[in-house]
Structure 1
Amino acid sequence: MSFLKISHLRKSYGALEILKDINIEIEEGGFLVLVGPSGCGKSTLLNTIAGLEPITSGEIAIKGRSIAGLPPSQRDIAMVFQSYALYPNMTVAGNIAFGMEIRKVPKDVREKAIKEVSDILQIGHLLDRKPSQLSGGQRQRVAMGRALVRNPQVFLFDEPLSNLDAKLRVDMRTEIKRLHQRLKTTIVYVTHDQIEAMTLATKIAVLKDGVLQQFGSPAEIYNNPANMFVADFMGSPAMNLLSATVEKDAAGLSVSLARPNGALVKLPVAAGQERLESHLGRQIVFGIRPEALTDIEGADRNARTIAEGDCLIEVVEPAGADTFAVTRLGGKEVVARLRADARIHAGQTARLAFNLDKAVYFDPQSQQRIA
């Protein structure tokens, strides 16, 4: 049985519908990440789980019990906000203990809880400081500590790392993952950063314009995107989405992509993609991630279907562990991810390897996955 279940949830402000028939469920101890661009409805969805926003219709249940009509105080949920929301006149210890004081928790129990969470979050040396004396990462730890002492059924995180610099974001991401592995508490986490989503989640819900585009594990979302939006949004660099034509001959199905000079790159279709036959002779969108388009020596030796093609390299971007090369196929720029020591330079025609086991195909009209 699912631990947190959201069924046919809708949220409207007057005639404006923000969330449109959302269906999500997560197991106990899972880490659900709600991801999507600004304005997609992810924070509104989090607020409906918290009870900060009433729902228009649908159901939210924890352990089979409806919480949709309950006030926030009765949902057994703790929330960590983007802005930290710390009391500036209180010490770190006071901020962590404040909620327990309101609930009349005995002093010895409060002190024990403060000690436990400060040890977990490594902020024991900060307990007597005020928030103004803390760094951004330390303030976020205090905000997390205030949620932890409640020992709730579900933790809600609303873009908790967006105010931190790039390096600190990475460090805090690791801390949150470590915390989840240790406590095994159910977490719902909102972010617009798809790297955060991929690294933290056990399940990801991708939203756009209030509609759930896809729900699944990070591997499912990344390798088997349901539509062009998910394919483009999840991944950095993004998936290459190119105009191609489906063909068939004695060797089987293939797709052809135009080079800038008018010549074609013809690529065989991997086995199991028979649904493409319904698009013979028609334009489709061919999707391939940069890491599946690489130099010949860097190609995956375990792949079943590897094809090679000559491509004019327009730009080379060294990036430390990798080298990115930009070419042009199907009328669009294409990013290939090569080995760091790949011998390649701008203006050269290079032979690249296409791992077609990793290719996906979309209908250009509906933008939904074909195969």
Structure 2
Amino acid sequence: MTFLKITGLRKRFGALEILKGIDLELEKGGFLVLVGPSGCGKSTLLNTIAGLETITEGDIRVEERSIADLHPSKRDIAMVFQSYALYPNMTVAGNIAFGMEMRGVPAAERKQAIDKVAKVLQIGHLLERKPSQLSGGQRQRVAMGRALVRDPKLFLFDEPLSNLDAKLRVDMRTEIKRLHQTTGKTIVYVTHDQIEAMTLATKIAVMRDGEVQQFGTPAEIYNNPANLFVADFMGSPAMNLLAGTIVNEQNGLAVSLQRPGGEAMKLPVSPAMMSLTTYANRNVIFGIRPEALTDPEGADRNAQSVSENDCLIDVVEPAGSDTFAVTKLGGKEVVARLRADARIRAGETARLAFNLDKAVFFDPESQKRIA
């Protein structure tokens, strides 16, 4: 059942159009992540849902009821800000209870609500401390507690982890995921970090220049990117995107990729991609993720189409659980993700396995996916 529905949403500041016709739907209990580079309009979109920004055109509905013209206080929405926005002179308990106190909730009910939220967020031992005595992660938990205690219909998070260090961000991601699983609340979350988007979301909207480039599950966004922007933006390391040409070979279609100082590498096209017949002898962009390009021993045994080729390795980057190797194809550097114990050295030729089941193709002019 659709819980949040955004239809034809536009936002202009004078002649400048920030949001250009946004259409999104989120089910009850879903976790929608708005992701994209700085300036793409994701925070503006979140602010229109919260009521902090008016909309120019379109509608926002929660449970079939339009909230587009409602005052923020009437929307039953709680927002967690990047800056935490805690009152420095109040204790943790005071910060969490402040909104309830302003609404005249009796003291006994406030205490019960504080204790319940503190247990969920594991901050019971912090209730008498002031914000200045807390770490960044603890402050973020308090900010979440202040929102959670209201028991709203919808939670909004505006880049809540961007002020935290790398390890704490990972820990807090887990906390937010746990919060969603335990409460079942509907959440809209803004981030520029695609790892956060992939790990937290049930649905992702990838935004660019005020438009949604693709909307779908994390698996759909990652495995079936709609265009070159989504393919390049989602994934760490990013997808390898190489200039190639579709050619006819004796056994069917292949993609031809230029190699430095040598003959072209020809990789067979999966039979499932026969739509590429119309691109025979035409240029395409060939996309393959680093994990689909590996040492032969680490290749997916269930793959239907794997092609092994010798590649000159330029750089080797050990990364603990993986080893990354850089080679050159199609005039660009290509990253392969190998097993940690793969025997590979910079400056030497190594055998690499291309899992072509995972390959994708884009039109270089329209930049849209074609197979």
SS at match of 2:262: coil
Structure 2 residue aligned with 1:68 = 68
Report the CA distance between 1:79 and its aligned residue: 0.3
Report the CA distance between 1:351 and its aligned residue: 1.1
Structure 1 residue aligned with 2:348 = 348
Distance 2:249 2:179 in 1: 55
User: What are the Cα deviations for residues 236-289 of structure 1, in whole angstroms up to 9, with x where unaligned?
Assistant: 000000000001133111101010013111101112212211111111000000
Distance 1:149 1:349 in 2: 60
Structure 2 residue aligned with 1:252 = 252
* Letter aligned with residue 7 of structure 2: S
**Does residue 1:320 correspond to 2:313, yes or no?**
no
Following superposition of structure 1 onto structure 2, how do residues 1-371 of structure 1 map, counting pairs within 5 Å? 1-371=1-371
State, as a whole percentage, how many aligned pairs show the same letter: 76
User: What are the Cα deviations for residues 298-333 of structure 1, in whole angstroms up to 9, with x where unaligned?
Assistant: 100000000111110000000000000000000000
User: What are the Cα deviations for residues 154-183 of structure 1, in whole angstroms up to 9, with x where unaligned?
Assistant: 000000000000000000000000110000
Distance 1:243 1:275 in 2: 18
Distance 1:273 1:11 in 2: 40
Distance 1:154 1:303 in 2: 42
Report the CA distance between 1:146 and its aligned residue: 0.2
Distance 2:93 2:18 in 1: 39
Distance 1:77 1:24 in 2: 18
Report the CA distance between 1:25 and its aligned residue: 0.4
User: What are the Cα deviations for residues 60-117 of structure 1, in whole angstroms up to 9, with x where unaligned?
Assistant: 0001100000011010100000000000111111100000011111111111000100
* Letter aligned with residue 320 of structure 2: G
* Letter aligned with residue 370 of structure 1: I
- TM-score by length of structure 1 reads 0.99
* Letter aligned with residue 281 of structure 2: G
User: What are the Cα deviations for residues 122-147 of structure 1, in whole angstroms up to 9, with x where unaligned?
Assistant: 11111111111111011000000000
SS at match of 1:225: coil
RMSD: 0.6
Distance 1:234 1:251 in 2: 33
For structure 1, the 5+ residue unaligned runs are: none
- TM-score by length of structure 2 reads 0.99
Distance 1:47 1:5 in 2: 15
Distance 2:183 2:200 in 1: 14
Distance 2:169 2:286 in 1: 34
Count of equivalent residues:
371
Distance 1:7 1:38 in 2: 23
Distance 1:90 1:99 in 2: 13
SS at match of 1:3: strand
Distance 1:47 1:354 in 2: 44
* Letter aligned with residue 32 of structure 1: L
SS at match of 2:354: strand
* Letter aligned with residue 229 of structure 1: F
SS at match of 2:303: coil
* Letter aligned with residue 39 of structure 2: G
SS at match of 2:271: coil
* Letter aligned with residue 179 of structure 1: L
User: What are the Cα deviations for residues 313-357 of structure 1, in whole angstroms up to 9, with x where unaligned?
Assistant: 000000000000000000000000000010000011111100000
* Letter aligned with residue 343 of structure 1: R
* Letter aligned with residue 255 of structure 1: V
Distance 1:191 1:66 in 2: 26
Distance 2:52 2:69 in 1: 11
* Letter aligned with residue 15 of structure 2: A
User: What are the Cα deviations for residues 215-249 of structure 1, in whole angstroms up to 9, with x where unaligned?
Assistant: 00000000000000000000000000000000113
* Letter aligned with residue 154 of structure 1: L
* Letter aligned with residue 313 of structure 1: I
SS at match of 1:370: coil
SS at match of 2:109: helix
SS at match of 2:38: coil
Distance 2:282 2:112 in 1: 68
Distance 1:253 1:61 in 2: 48
